Structure 1
Amino acid sequence: MANSKVNKRFDQYVLRGKLRQEGFERWRYVFSAFSKATGQERKFFVELFIVNPGISPKVAVLSQKSRLALSESDLQYALAGTASAAHANDEIAVLPSYVLVKAGVFGSNGKQMNKFHASSMFSFIKNTETFKVGDCLFRSNALSGSVVVSSQDLRIRPELLCNAGAMSWELKFERIIECSPLYNRKHYLWTPLGVKSVFSGTVHLDEEEYVVLPKSSNGYIDKSWGISPNSPYFHISSSKMTSIISGKQMLNSCFSLEGEFGGKLCAYLNFEGEKYTVENRGIFKKDAIIHDCSQMSDSSDGDRVHWTVSIHKGRFVIDVDLFCKGKEMFVRDYEMPQGKRCLLKILGGVGTGEVRVYKKIGKNLELLEHANVYDAICEFGQTEEVGK
């Protein structure tokens, strides 16, 4: 949500028509903050995930809780190894319908907390350009709100699919480097609205206060919507880089790559004003991206997950290598709009690595830039049918 006239229409609530019955909309804000007590730096996220709002506007419905309560006769049938007529149909065809606020932190001891709302509680205040759900506000340049999940909540409702904890935030932000949609189809759209964004404010996580400083916030904002989220899902992005060639911090550089769109990625990369974009819009474009995500065993520091991307665009080749420590990653779950107990399970963490930019000269490659990458968002996910 923001200031650019080009992207302003994407800052609005976009689920219309059939997408209100079978569709999703996801806004994501990611930023770094420092503990006021210890100085430790951590990567936080706040997300808004809307799914099938037109199906059950007055009650938040989670498809993961779709079994009927067992009656005494059902229990007897189950113990006998047979199925009652009633129990034979205990799987109700439930489609999810709600507005979810998801907040948390990556890294060691990372966690996520989920707060589900009925879609009728989601509103737009036109004169202040503010989206509101519960006590959470999503403004054109600010965020505020809180999510609290107790251990008792999870015992009663394991379908909340999150951790116990509490997080609150008071933030302002500005999108410094913006990007128009990189993938825009009738059934799906993804736009990294703020590939490089600046945040400021405070975050409280389980009673510990964190300070968000503009110069070190390394912020990122994107938005997607459509019939269903991508699966397989692949995402890497960062706005914190230092040139190995010059030794200087690259203050006006960032990149974001996401997919898979028919097995492919879309990408926006900006290295000190030199921009490279792969949109996969036309069938005759020769741009190509080769990508992979694999697990590596490293006895010195445990298992690591390795993201590799090689972009071939015209006369240029861009290679990205990022690593995350397996022990510092965790899975976030998203219900698919089609229900069927199907979850998109995204493994995510904060990574480091390198990026290289080459120019083709005949059969040779000339190295234009070689940089260290820090504080990168690294994610990979697939759908999985659970709860059978």
Structure 2
Amino acid sequence: MFNRFDFDKNKCQLTGSYAEDGYDRYWHTFTGYEDGTGKEKVFFVEYLIINPTMGWDEVKRGRGVVPSYTLVRCGAFAESIMERYIPMSEVESYTVDRQMRIVAGDCFLSEHSMSGRTEDGAMSWNLRIRKKVAYNAGVINGSLARKVKALDTFWHAQGMITKYCGVVNYKGSRYDVAFDTSYGYADKTWGDEYPGFCLWLNGSRLRSRLSGKELSKSGFAFAGLKPVLFGKGIRDTIVGALYYEGVEFDYNFARPSLISKTEYVIDDSDSALKATIVMQNCTSVLALCLKCDKNDMITPAYETTFGENAYDKLYATAVAKGRLKLYTKFKGALVLVEDMDVYNAGLGYGGTII
């Protein structure tokens, strides 16, 4: 069963060698509605800490410089990226009842809330967080794998389905965020190196083509990586799951009993990004296709722990649209369980050469 919250995985991991050669990144997306007009806007907020013991009173960044800082990055897809770099002397990471807390200047993040602002005040947020469904990948980011640092990068989706509530002030307008219409997502990655290839797809705003109803208790999260295991690169792979109205469909190569198989195709043109994945296990098949115009995507930059560009290019959005079909296997045939439209979906793709 993948729907297991794990506060040890979700707390800050930058201890031991990671303190001087490691990063920890928390990612949140959610939908808000402009006060007075009801206009919809999809926001993102990211908290990233890198090499915390390599700097103190100053932000260290730039090509060829070993970086050390906390980055709070936020904005609205298709519109803006705003970045605030905070020196480690103003940052505190700790746990309360095993649950993480990060304080960076006047920015804050915990399991149940987050708040903060840009330096110029162009965007601020004050939100409560309810994580309803998690994707726990099991042994590939379990305690032993983390202890021996088996992978160069780890992924954990504590909030595969997450509900947010509160207020975002964005460029002079107020946006209200409500639990039932936030369509949120929260995950994290950490390690000592970014993967040479990454792909992610997630979403919880789904509508059935069969019944016409919104599937309010459903969501999915998939991450594609080219992981390095004990210094040796292994083939591109995708792990993840669909939570369909309370029923779990898991696709994870690290759970051998599932007999998982993965196929994917990326169509990356000048104007749009399209990702198609087909996930299969011993009892089901999932086909998912997401597409987004490049104008509706952001291109965030990341530094490696030794001060180089992590990606030649990285595209990210949470306004992708698409379609998801779910089948079960029965006597050698596929039986359609659900056919759904997907909105406000997360879609990201990047690599060292793409």
Task: Find the aligned partners of 2:269 and 2:73 in 1 and give their Cα distance.
Answer: 30
- For residues 282 and 356 of structure 1, the distance between their equivalents in structure 2, rounded to whole angstroms, comes to 23
Runs of 4+ in 1 over 6 A off after TM superposition: none
- Structure 1 residue 296 displacement after superposition: 5.5
Are 1:252 and 2:196 matched, yes or no? no
One of 254, 264, 272 as aligned partner of 2:245: 272
Alignment-derived partner of residue 308 in structure 1: 276
Confirm or deny: 8 A CA contact 1:336 1:344 kept in the other structure: no
The sequence identity of aligned pairs, in percent, is 25
Aligned to 1:374: 343
Could you tell me whether the CA contact under 8 Å between 2:201 and 2:223 is conserved in 1? yes
Q: Which runs of 5+ in 1 are unaligned?
A: 65-92, 150-164, 298-302
Q: Which amino acid aligns with 1:227?
A: D
Query: What does residue 74 of structure 2 align with?
Result: 103
Cα pair 2:166 2:178 within 8 Å, conserved: yes
Match of 1:337, SS state, is coil
Structure 1 residue 325 and structure 2 residue 293: aligned?
Answer: yes
SS for the counterpart of 1:34 is strand
Q: Secondary structure at the match of 2:352?
A: strand
1:228 equivalent in alignment to 2:201: no
Alignment of 1:1-388 (within 5 A): 6-64=5-63, 93-107=64-78, 110-124=79-93, 130-148=101-119, 166-181=122-137, 183-184=140-141, 185=145, 186=149, 187=151, 188-261=153-226, 262-281=235-254, 286-295=259-268, 303-343=271-311, 345-349=313-317, 350-383=319-352
Deviation at 1:205, TM superposition (A): 1.2
Deviation per CA, 1:220-252: give whole Å up to 9, x if none.
110111111222110110011111111111111
**Unmatched runs of 5 consecutive residues or more in structure 2:** 227-234
Q: Who wins on radius of gyration, i.e. which is larger?
A: 1
CA-based RMSD: 2.3
Distance in 2 of aligned mates of 1:318 and 1:335: 34
For the 8 Å contact 1:233–1:258, the answer to whether it is kept is yes
In the TM superposition, what whole-angstrom CA distance separates every residue of 1:57-87 from its partner, at most 9, and x where no partner exists?
33211123xxxxxxxxxxxxxxxxxxxxxxx
> TM-score of the superposition, structure 1-length normalised?
0.80
Asked whether the 8 Å contact 2:137–2:240 carries over to 1, the reply is no
8 Å contact kept, 2:5–2:158: no
Contact residue 334 and residue 344 of structure 1 kept, 8 A: no
Displacement after TM superposition at 1:55 (Å): 1.5
The answer to whether the 8 A contact 1:331-1:348 is kept is yes
- CA change 1:341–1:174 in 2 (3 A) is closer
Give aligned pairs, total: 332
What SS does the aligned partner of 2:18 have?
Answer: helix
Q: CA offset at residue 196 of structure 1?
A: 0.6
Cα deviations by residue, 1:281-317 (Å, 9 ceiling, x for unpaired): 25786311111221358xxxxx332110100111311
| Inter-CA distance 308–275: structure 2 relative to 1 (3 Å threshold) | same
TM-score, normalised with respect to structure 2: 0.87
2:119 alignment partner, SS class: strand
Q: Distance in 1 between matches of 2:94 and 2:309?
A: 34
